A and B are shown apart, each in its own frame.
Chain A
Amino acid sequence: MISVRNRAHPAVRAVLVGAYILCVEWARALIATQPRMAIASLVLGGAALGLVAVGWPADRLGLGTSRIGLRIIGGLALGAVLLLPAAARSGAVPILPAGLAAAAVAISVGEELAFRGALYAALDELGGAPLAIVGSTVLWTAAHSLSHPPEFLGAVAAAGLLLALWRWACRDLVAPVIGHVIADLAL
């Protein structure tokens, strides 16, 4: 009984965190389809996603400041990998208009805090790293199912898996945040 009770709380927390993130992502995808709501939906969506990380210790989110140089280099490398397939084929990558740049930063940071931060930590607590990696990737893909055509979801899932594996292998969220921001700013 004790072990069940001990495991019940992390499970409830993981479900609540996942459900909240999914609702926010789907809501912002629907709002973004309304005229002139693209930027507002991204900024508010990013802020709402970031809220889910409030209350988590920084180390549980992977936000330590040690070896910050390596974390930043890792983020630049992840950004380069995320951009490569588009850049190599198009020859020219459209950079976001200035108005969308701030929104891109907001949603990138918010998504990383939510998916590879709070959700990863909640799932890790519940079932360890395998559940955290697979679960955060599945939910990440589902969260983008309204905003992206179905044929894009394989690539979206692969990006989520890469970022989650980095989070696990390096116990770091700084690099995924930087990589995600770079990718969103350039596309």
Chain B
Amino acid sequence: MRGPALLAAAVVTYVVAAWMVAPGFYDGFGPQQPYNWTCPPPQAGANLKPLSGHADIKVPGGVSDAGSAFANDGQIVVGFLPGAFDATGKATIAVDVTPLPTCPQPPGIRFVTNVYHVVASAPLVKRASVVLVYSNLEAAPTAIYQADDPAGPWKSIGAARDAMPFTITTTSASLGYFAGGYPQTTAASGALRIGGGSQVLPIVVAILIAIVLLAGLPLAMLRRRRGRAGVEADEDEAKATSKS
């Protein structure tokens, strides 16, 4: 019975160890860095405040250069094409990216990223690309939302499909306030709801341990019985060996 006992201990060890860190550590699919929250969710561990950023876009020959402005923690990147701004009479265009210190949750929308304010010293005349990083602690956003004022109204400006893992990207015809989220009337796209919350956790853990043991016990017992009989591999496996 040593095998099943060790397996049960390993299940408990794993659940405890995984419980102590943010979810999403499988094979590098999680974000490379923990998300810096303005308003961290309860399951977030130690949190750093999100950073702001600043960029100066040069205007050689009256046409603004290509460039990008980003928060210094990389959680938002706004990219500009050449001539993206009406640069009349300017030598440079200043772009500031600032995380909003509050966390508005407009009706009908669930924001799962910080809200960022992007402002430039010249009007935008070409669409800018917007890339937002999101956390694995929340369901994936389905769109980026934009508003001229944090109080709203917020409108969806869509999302491209080829974004990198844990990023969402789109283009915008205007600057202002940006956040990633999903319509609250429907479940988040690509989200698997596992209800109950932490109250049912001990019961679920106990059931899972029982399932693992019930599934593993017959295999372990058969192996033990065969080991005693001096048969190391079962017949099927022996056949596989002889074939290979």
Contacts and interface: CB of A to CB of B under 8 A. Distances in A.
Interface of A: 29, 32-33, 35-36, 38, 42, 57-60, 63-67, 70-71, 73-74, 76-78, 80-82, 84-97, 99-100, 104, 107-108, 111, 144, 147-149, 151-152, 154-159, 161-162, 165-166, 168-172, 175, 183-184, 186-187
B194 A85 contact: no
B12 to A, nearest CB: 10
Interface size class of B (residues with CB under 8 A): 35 or more
Contact of B27 (A73, A92, A99, A111): A111
A183 to B, nearest CB: 5
A186 B34 CA distance: 19
A107 B27 contact: yes
B205 to A, nearest CB: 7
A36 B204 CA distance: 38
Given A89-B198, A157-B17, A165-B10, A66 B29 contact: no
Contact of A66 (B17, B200, B212, B237): B237
B105 interface: no
A74 B244 CA distance: 26
Contact of A57 (B30, B187, B216, B241): B241
A162 B136 contact: no
A81 B208 contact: yes
Given A64-B236, A158-B17, A108 B27 contact: yes
B56 interface: no
Contact of A88 (B4, B204, B233): B204
B14 A159 contact: yes
A74 B240 CA distance: 21
B3 interface: yes
B219 A71 contact: yes
Nearest to B33: A149
